[in-house]
Structure 1
Amino acid sequence: MALKVELKPGERFILGDSVITNDDQRTRLFIEGETPILREKDILRAADADTPCKRLYLLVQMMYLAPDPRPHHDLYFQIVKDVIDAAPSTAPFIDAVNSKILTGEMYKALKEARKLIEYERGLLENVKTS
């Protein structure tokens, strides 16, 4: 079954190792195959990975898009250790990400990592108001 992707005018997405940009009209594409796909709303640029949990998301994104995710594992697990050391309450969120990575569900791992970023945002807001 094909994946249906609807794009807004000018919206971009990653298909494998290519960035595709829509023209000035709404477009619907049907994509078949196993190539990783990321919509613009799910893409985190390296310049925007300005917190530890965003860096984790970026590494999961890189693993998802890479033909072989193993080169990213060492840095990923180092950042995981740093995050859990700094905020032990993040452990359930990180466990959820790790579970998806271990089962090869990389896109779902990104979704779990997004939840981790939201949790981190709440922690950082609490620190600012204290």
Structure 2
Amino acid sequence: MLKLAIKPGEKIYIGRSTLLIRADTTVTVYINGDQPVLKDREAIDPKTAVTPVDQLHALLQEMYLHGQATHHMVRYRELTQEVAVQSSECANLVKTIERWLIEDNHYMAIRAAARFAHKQRQARSMHVVAEEIDQGDL
């Protein structure tokens, strides 16, 4: 049995279903079964996945939640190749994801992609702010 502490307004994805918590305080949820579970903070809306890392994250999420890994292997290979050539950090991300998938741990592969994508977004926003400072816009 899986025990999760869910904050007000947070979503949980269980297979193809979404559970939205409407409460004033943190709620403890117990989930029994074999469906894949993903908390909102590790999920990505596929419509907002614009970078290759975000697209890889969304694809891993789809493979995990919908159980269609073999169906997505061609796109997965394309994305991992595209991501790996971007930098040594990106190549290391792909290796980490591959290691988790070999161990049949899709959840940890998603977490690795989510954390890396978050770092990339932070770095991009810091770069934009630095450019604005250089241009005197701030």
**How would you bin the TM-score normalised by the shorter chain?**
0.7 to 0.9
2:15, 2:84 → 1: CA distance?
A: 31
Change (3 A) 1:127 1:52: farther
> Do the aligned partners of 2:15 and 2:65 also contact (CA within 8 Å) in 1?
yes
> Do the aligned partners of 1:52 and 1:83 also contact (CA within 8 Å) in 2?
yes
1:5, 1:125 → 2: CA distance?
A: 31
Can you give the 5+ residue segments of structure 1 that lack an aligned partner in the other structure?
none
Match of residue 57 from structure 1: 57
Secondary structure at 1:86's aligned position in 2? coil
1:39, 1:84 → 2: CA distance?
A: 26
Aligned length: 129
Amino acid aligned to 2:51: T
Mark the structure with the bigger radius of gyration: 2
2:84, 2:126 → 1: CA distance?
A: 17
* Deviation per residue, 1:85-129 (Å, 9 max, x gap): 333442111100011112210001112212432454477569766
What is the identity percentage for the equivalent residue pairs of Structure 1 and Structure 2? Answer: 22
Amino acid aligned to 1:13: I
Instruction: Write the mapping of 1:1-130 to structure 2, written as runs, cut at 5 A.
Output: 2-26=1-25, 27-118=27-118, 120-121=120-121, 124=124
Change (3 A) 1:73 1:59: same
Can you give the 5+ residue segments of structure 2 that lack an aligned partner in the other structure?
132-138
> Do the aligned partners of 2:8 and 2:24 also contact (CA within 8 Å) in 1?
yes
> Do the aligned partners of 1:93 and 1:115 also contact (CA within 8 Å) in 2?
no
Show structure 1 runs of 4+ deviating over 3 A. Answer: 118-130
> TM-score normalized by structure 2?
0.79
> TM-score normalized by structure 1?
0.84
Question: Deviation of residue 47 (structure 1)?
Answer: 2.0
Amino acid aligned to 1:17: R
